[in-house]
Structure 1
Amino acid sequence: MASKLLPPFDDDEIETELQFHHTWEIEDWDSLPDKLYSPAFDGGDYSWKIFLFPRGNKFNSVSVYLACAPKGQDPANPDKDGPHWTCCAQFGIVMWNPDEPSVWKENKAHHRFEAEESDWGFSQFYELRNLYNKSPTSDHAMIENNKVNISIYVKIVKDVTGVLWHNFRNYNSKKETGFSGIRNQGATCYMNSLLQSLYFTTAFRHAVMGIPTEDEPDKVPAALQRLFFQLSTSSDGVDTRKLTKSFGWDSGDAFTQHDVQELNRVLMDNLEGKMKGTSVEGMLNKIFVGQMKSYIKCVNVDFESSRIEDYWDIQLNVKGMKNLEDSFKDYVQVETLDGENQYQATGFGLQDAKKGVVFTSFPPVLHLQLKRYDFDFIREQMVKINDRYEFPTEIDLAPYLDESIVPEESCEYALHGVLVHCGDLNIGHYYALIKPKKDGHWYKFDDELVTKATMKEVLEDNFGGDLLASDLAKSRVSNISPSYKRHTSAYMLVYIRKSRLDEILFDDKVPQHIMDRVKAEIEEEENARREREEQHLYMSMKISSIEQFKKLNYFDIAIWKQDPGLEDQSPEAHAVVYKAKKSLTAAEFIDQIAKSINYPYPERLRLWRVGERDNKTKRPGDPVDTSSNLPLEQIFAKNLKVRAEINLYLDIADVDPTTGEVISWYDNDLELGPRLLLFIKVFNPTTQSVHGFMTWVGRANQKVKSLIPDVLKALGWDPDTKIRLLEEVKPNFIEETDIEETFDQARIGDGDIMCIEKVEPDLSSLPVGGYKTATDYYNFLFKRLHIVFRRRVDHDGFNDENDNSPTPDVDVWLSASDEYDHVSAVVGEKLNVDPTHLQFFVTNPNGTVKNVIKRKTIVSHMISSLHGVSPHIILYDVLPMSLKEYETKQLVRFIYLTDGISQEHRHEVLLPQTAKVQDLLPYFESKIKLSPEDLSKLHFWVSSNHLFSQEVPLNTPVSEVVKHDTLYAQVLSSEEQEWLENNTDLSEGIVIKVYQFHKDPTSTHGVPFQFLLKPGEPFRETKMRLQKKLGMFDKLFERIKFAIVDVQHYDERQGSPYVEDEDEVLYDQFASDPELMLGLDHMNRTPRRVHTERAIFIKD
C-alpha cells in the first residue's frame, strides 16, 4: 500500500528523510462527535493527529485530514507565535473495514505543513450514504459492527530548495535567498529575465556602474545603475518603470512582449554608445563579443573568399536537433558548391568550392539564442518548436573553432543561465534560472519571486517536449498549470568560459556616488508620493517677479506656460510654481515666499493678481489684500471653483523715507490720480532682444514722458538721448506712444508694458539679417518659427554619391515670411557651404521626404504644420552644383545585383536630363570597378510592383526609365547574354519572366528577373539553375513552391497550378503561352513592419 500511495519523485534531489505509517482503530463510529482528533502519534521530529469529520465538513462526505506539529506541541493547536517550522510530507489516507480489509478507500496528497497550515487532507473522502452500503466489489460495507480503521502513510522529504510545495503567501525572496526579484509591469517578464541575467554577470554590472551619469540622470545608464543598486539592497521586488521610461517606452510597450534577443541588442547598442570616451569604453565587446569567419574555399585551385564578423550571440537551430552539440555541428556544416551551383572565383572562373562558417574566437560570456520559433509552411504561420532539446552544464567548443587557430586558453564553458518561456507563440510567461556564483546554487527568478532551484528544474524541466500526465503528477512544481508546464522550454542559454569565471563572477560593490544619487532620488520620490497624498490640502500658484521679467526675450512679463515655440527662453524666465496650504492667510503665504527667496523684509512684499485680458495677454491687475485673515482658499475661491490657474506677480513695495513704513498702494490723491505699475523693456539691436529691466510706479494723471528720466538713468544712457516709447499692447499690436499725453489719456494702466529704443541706435554691430527697430523685431517675434534643418537620409537605402556626411543639424529661428534665398543664406552660413547649392524638402511626420521645396517659397509654406509642433523639421541636401543647374539634371537610382540576385547594392547617379542608360557605364567602370568584359555583359531591366516590366536597351532615355518603380542591373553569364541578345530560335530555348510572391500570387515581393527555359529539360534540373540564379542556400530554396501564373488573367477562385512533378518539362507549357510567368511562392525574408506592429526600441 505504501508504494501505491507514496510513489517515487522524478527529481533525484528530493531526498526522503523518513517514511512511516500509523492506524487509528475506531470502535464506536456512531457515538463520535461531529469533529474530533485521533490520539497523537510520533513520526520523525513531529507529532501527528488524524482530524476527522464523521458526518462531513460542509459536504455529504466523511472528511479526513492529517495534522502536524513539532514534537512537544499539539497538532490540533500548534503554537503560531513560536519559532517558524515546516514539514514537507507526501501522505496517503486509507479508510478500511477491519473485519474485511478488501473494503477500503484511499486518497493521497502532498503538503508543506506549517503553523499557518498545520492540517491538510480531503473534505470529500467518502460519501456518507455509502458508509453502510455494500461496496461494488464486495458483499461488505465500509462500516460494519460500528467499526472502521483509518491508516496514515507518510513520507517526510528533505526541502532542499526551501520552497517545496510552498504557497508563497508570506514568502520573502530577499530573506530566503539573499536576492531580490523584479516586478512585472504587465508583460515585462521577458525583460526581467534578461535583466537578472545581466545583473549577475558581474563584469557587465561593473562596466555599467563605471559609466558617468552625473549629466544624464534620465538616460538608460543611470536608470540601469539605479536598478542594479536596488537589486543589491532592496528587501522587496524592484520596480523597472524608471528604466522603461528611460527607454522611451509608454504603457503600451510595457504590455507588449518583445523578443529578448532584440531587446538585448538594442540595449547593448545604447550602452556601447554611452561608454565611448569613458574609462569603460570597449568593455562590452570584451565580455560578450566573439568572431566568426564566413568563407568560400575552392577545392581545386588556391582561392578563398572570406569575411570576419563580430557576433554578440549565436542563433542555433532547435528543429531537427537533439542537443546543443548537434546545433553547433549544424551551424558549422560545410556546403558543397558544384555542378550547376559552382562558385565564380575571380581569376579562375567557375569552380567546385566549400562554403561555410567557422568560429575564430569565443567571448568570455556566450549568449546562445535557441530558435524555438519557426515558420510552419503547412499552417503558414509562426509556431513554437517545443521538441525535446538537451543542453549540458559544461561544453567544450574547441571542435567548432577554425582549425588554423591555436586557442590561447581552454574553450570549455560552464552553464550559468537558462532563460525560459512557458506557453505558446501568442501567450506565455518568461523566467530565468541563474547560477550567480562560480560554485554556488542555482536560483529561479520569476519576476518578484526568487527561489532556490534543483538541477532538474535547470535542465530536464526546460529541455522541452510534452510531459506525460504521470510526470505532471510527480512534478514538485505545483504552481504552474499543466497546460503551461507541457510547453516549457529554454530559449536562451548563458555559458561562461571556465578559465574566465573569476573575471566575470566576482564580488562587486556599488560605487558610493551612485548609492548617494539613488538614495537621494528615492527620497525625492517618497516626498513626492507624500505630496500627492496630501495634495487636497494644498493649492498651486505660479509667481513671477522682476527676475523673470529681466530674463524674458519675448512678449508679456514671464513665461506662464511652456507652449511650442518658447524653447529658446531661459528657464529663469518661467514663472515659479509655489505650493501652499489652503488654510494659510495671505500674510502667512508671503512669509513663506520671503523665506524661500531669503528676503528679510516680508512686509514689503506685495502680490498682484495676474489675469488674462480680452486680447489674451496676461497682465497684473490689482494687489492681493493681505490685511484680512481670510485663508487662501477663500481669497482665490473663484479660481479654485472653475479650476483656473492662479497667476501672481511679486512686487517690492516702496517705503516712506521718513517713517520707514510701507506706502499703501491705495490713497485719496484725486489730483495725481491712482497709482499705476508699469513694466519697462528695452530693445537692443546688437543682441536682437527686448529684455525687461525695470518696473516703474507712477500716477494716472502724469504725462507719459515723466518716466523717461528714470528710465534713461536706469539704463545709463545720456539724459539727452533721443528715444522712442512703444506700448506692447499684444503680440501683433505694438504702437508708438505720444509722450505728451497723460497715462490716463494714453489708456495706459496697471500692468502695461512699455518698450524704449534709441531713435538713432549704433548699428555697427548689427548681426547679419538683424532687425533695426523694435517694431520690426516685435513683428519677427510674432511670426517666428523654430526650425531644425536636418540632412536628408534616403529611407529607400540608396547611397548618395555626393554625401559628405557627417553634417550637423542647423538650429535657427526664422520668420514665417522669410523667403527661400534668405533661408539658404542663413543655413549656408551655418554649414559653411555655398547657399546656392542647398536644396530643401518638406517632411512627413515620420521624418521622410514629402516633396521638394520650390524656390520663391516662404518659410510658412516650407513646413507641414504651423500648430502644435516646435521645432519644425526641414530636410536639406548639399548639392554638387547650384540648385539652378541641378534642376536641369535627372537623378537615376538603380539596384546592382550580385551573387545571383541575392545581394542588392543600391546606387544613385546624377545625369543630364537628356542622358541615356549607356551614360551609366562610366559609373560602373569607375565606382563599381567592372572590367571591360563584365561591362559588355551588363544587362538592365525595370519592374513595377515587383513584376518584370521590360528590358532596357542602352539607348533608352533615362527620363523613360525613372517612370518605373525600380531599375535593375546585373552582369549576365555568357549563356544568358547570348540567349537574351542573339537567339531567336524558340526551338533552342525561351526566355520567361520569373517573380516572387507569398501565398497569394498578387502579394509580390523581391526581385523579378528573366530566365532561360531549355527544351527537354526536366524540372529538377531547371530548379538547380534557378537556385544558382537566386543565390540561395539549400535550406531556404527547399521551402520554395513553384507556380505557373497568368498574372494578367489571374482568378483567385481558381488559383494557380503548382509544379509538383520533378520530371515535368516547363518549356512545353511556356512555349505555347507567352503570357505565363513562373511564380516562386515563399515568405518575404525582409518584410516591412506593418504600421500596427511596435518595433522594440530604446531612445538615445
Structure 2
Amino acid sequence: MLLILQVEHEEILVLDSDSAPMEEPQPMEAEPVEAGNAVDAPTVDDPPSVRFTWTIDNLSSLNNNTLYSDVFVSGGHKWQLLIFPRGCHLSLFVAVADWWELPSDWTICANFSLAVVNQNYNKFTVRKETQHEFNSRERDRGFRTFISLKELYDPDGGYLVNNTCIIEADIAVRKAVYHMPTTEALTIPLALQSIFYKLQYGDTSVSTKELTTSFGWGAQESFIQHDVQELNRTLCEKLEEKMKGTVVDDLQLDVKGCRDVYASFDKYVEVERLEGDNKYHAEQHGLQDAEKGVLFTDFPPVLQLHLKRFEYDYMQNAMVKINDRYEFPLQLDLDREDGKYLSPQADRSVRNLYTLHRLKFDDERITKEDMKSAMDEQYGGEDEEDVAKEFGIPVHCQRFWLWSKRRNHTYQPTRPLTLHEEAQSIGNLIHLSNNELELFLEVVEFGQDILPISPPEKTNGEILLFFKLYDPLMEELRYAGRLLVKDTGKPIDILERLNEMAGFAPDEEIELFQVFRVRSSVQCAPVEKELTFLASEVVRFRSLEKPNEDEFSLELSKTYNYDAVVGRLAHHLNLDDPSKIRLTSQSYWPEKPKTEPIKYRGVNRLSDMLNHNTSDILYYEVLDIPLPELEGMKTLDVTFHDATKNEVVTHTIRLPKESTVGDVINDLKTKVELSNKDAELRLLEINFNRISQVFSLDEKIEDISDFCTLRVEEVPEEEKDLGLQDCLVRVQHCDIDSHWTWHKFRIFGEPFLLVIHEGETLAEVKVRIQKKLEVPDEEFSKWKFSHASWSIPTPLKDSDIVSDYFQKKDVYGEDVYGAKEHFLQVEHSNNSKRPYTLNQAIIYCDSMIQKYLCDAVDGRMMVYQIVNI
C-alpha cells in the first residue's frame, strides 16, 4: 500500500540574506505564459508551491540600484527575489541563491509567479507567471517591465501604501520528473516527462502505453493485471538508477501491530539492543554490546510511505494480506514530541508538517476528494435523512429489511430491523448478515396524516410474502403488495386478497409464479395453489459427545434462519441463552460430524445446515460461554511434558485470538508444576510424530493450525548457553514395517530436540541420547542412526561428524532449531506394540517410481509424495 502526504507550507523557512554569497546578476527576462487547459474534474495538485511575501519599507527613499530579498526555500533549493527600482519600470526577478553549492551541470525546472500586491483592492494586484529551467548560465529569470513606476508611485493606486510595497512570489520546483536526464530513445525518464506534461496541460485522459513500453512490457503484459505496488517498485528502481547523486530512501513501514502512521514511525525508529548472541562486531574491538536505530536528518516535500500490508505466512506457504485496522491522521506532524524522529544533525527550524490528500482513481481520471466523499460516500448514507434526501422518501415512511440469499441464487427480505437496531451504527449491524450488510428499503404507503410505522405483528408460523404484478398487454412488471400468511396455508386461500390487491374482480382467475435466478437468467416456476407455502423438515439432533445416537427430533421449516433453529433447540433443551449452542453439520462421507462447526449466523437457512437436504442430522453442543464470544477466542489443547519429558497432563487453554505464544506459556505456568520456578518453557507443533515447528514467544496464536498436536516442555539447561557453532536438531523414532514389499519405515513415539556440538561424532551423541532416554545397553546396541529428510535416510557411522549434516539455522535464518526438513532418525523396534492408526506417519520408498499416498485424517486429505531414490 502506498500513502502520499504533501507538506503543509503555512510556515516557510526564511534565512538571512547574508548566509550565501551572491554575485551581481545578469537578469534574464521572461514573457508571461498562459496556464494550460484545465480538465473538467479537479485534478491532482501540482508539486507543492511555496509562497514568499516580501515587504519593502521606504521604497521611495532607497538609493540602491538593486535590492535583494531574504533567502527562502522551495523544492529543496534556496531562492531570492531581486528588484531594480530605477528607470521607467520596476523590474522583478527570481534568482537561485544556492547556485554556488550546486554541481557545475545543475539544472532546476520551476514554475513561478510574481505579484505586486494592491493593498487597497486585491483584484487589481499585478501578477505574472512563467516557467524556466535554471542552470549555471541562467541563474535568474523575471520581468524587466513588471509595472511602471508612475503606476507604482501613484498615491491612489494602492501599490505603495505608507511608502511600503508588498511583493509575493509562488515557486513550484518540478525536480522529481522534469529534471531527470533523458535521451532521445524511449526510456522511463523520457516517458515520465511526457506523461506528466500531458497530464498537466491536457484536457483529456492520457494513454500510458509509452510508459508501459518503456518498462519493457509488450502486448502480453497488457492483459495481465498490475497493481499500484508493482508500478511503484518499477518506478522507484528506475528513478534511483537514473538519478545518480539524488538522495533517496525507500521508507517501508510496518502495519502489523500498529494502529496508525505514528505507531509505524515509532516502530521504525525503535532502538534495538545488540547484546548476547547478537552483539555488534566492531573493527579492532571485536563483539560489543551496542544499540542500533534509525533517525532522519530531513524529510522531502512530498512524503511517500510504503505500508507493508503483505507478509509471508509459513502455514499457508503464501503471501497474505494484513487487514488490520489502520488509521491515517489528517495532518502528520513529524516534529511531534520534540522531534523524536529527527537526528541531532537535523535542521530544527524546518517545519515537517504533512497534510493527507485523498485521491479518487477511476478509469480515466484522478481527482482530489474531500473527507466526506472519501469516507462516507463509499459506504452509502449514514442515516435515514441521507436516504430521504437521496430518494425523496420521508423518514417515517421508510422501513429497512435484512436480505438473505436463497438456494436459487435470488435474494429476499428476511425480517425488518427492530427499532433498537435502527438506532445502532452500521458497524454494529454488520454482524447481523455475516459481515456484509445489504438492506431492502420498504416504502410504506401513507395518507394525509403521516404517522410513524411500526413493523407488522408477526407470530411464529407466519411468513411474509411480497407480490409483483405482470401485465402482459403493457409488458410491465410492478410491485403489488405484501401479505402475512400462515406457513401451513395454501395459495388458494389468498386468491381473493390477491385479486383485490391487483384491482381485479374477486373471482378473477390468476396464475402464480415464483421468480428465481439461475446463473445470469431470471426464470419463473408455476406455483401449485393446493400446496402449502412451506415444506417442513424433521431434523434429528445428536449430541456431539455421542455422535452415533439420536437424542430427539424437531419439526422445523427448511427456511428457518440460524437464530430460529437455535431458538427452537434452546427451547427444547430448556436453555435461557440460545447463543450458547453450537451446531455442526454431518459430512457426506463418512457419516460423522464435520471437523468445522457452523459459525455463529454463518448460514442463512436450515437447508444449508443439512447439506442442502442431503442429510437430516444435526449435531449440537452446549457451551459454557456464548458462541460469538468463543469465536473471538482461540482454543488450544496443549500437552505438558515435565523436565523428564514424560507426559503429565493435557490442558485446554482459551485466549483471545490476538494473544501470543508467550501468553499461552504464562497461562500454562499457573496450571502445572515446574522443576523450578525459573524454568523456561517452549511450545512445539507435532505432526505425525515429528517436530514440525518450534514457536517463537511473539507469534500470534491465531496463526496456529487447529489440527496439529501442541506440546509444551521445559527447556533443558544445556540448551540455554549454546555456542556459536552449536545447533538443535529434531530427533525422531522409526521402525521397519515388515508387512509391505517395499522398503519402508514408520515414525512413532515422542520426538525431541537435541543439542549437537561442533565436531561431535555420532558415538559421542549416542552416549548422550542413551542417557537422556534411559535405554538399557543391550537394547541400545541394536539402535541405528541416520540423517533423514523427506526422502530416503542416509545411515550414519560412529565416526561421522553429526553437525556436518545439519544447518545452524533454518532455511529462513530465523532460529537455531535446525532446518525443518532435516532430522536425526533413530531406528529401533516399537516396544509399545500399538496398532497402526491414521495419525501415524508411514513413508514408503521405491527406487523406480513415485507414489502418492492419500490418507483421510479427521476429514482432511494428507498427501505424501515419495521421491525418486
Tell me the TM-score normalised to structure 1 length: 0.24
The structure having more radius of gyration, on CA atoms, is 1
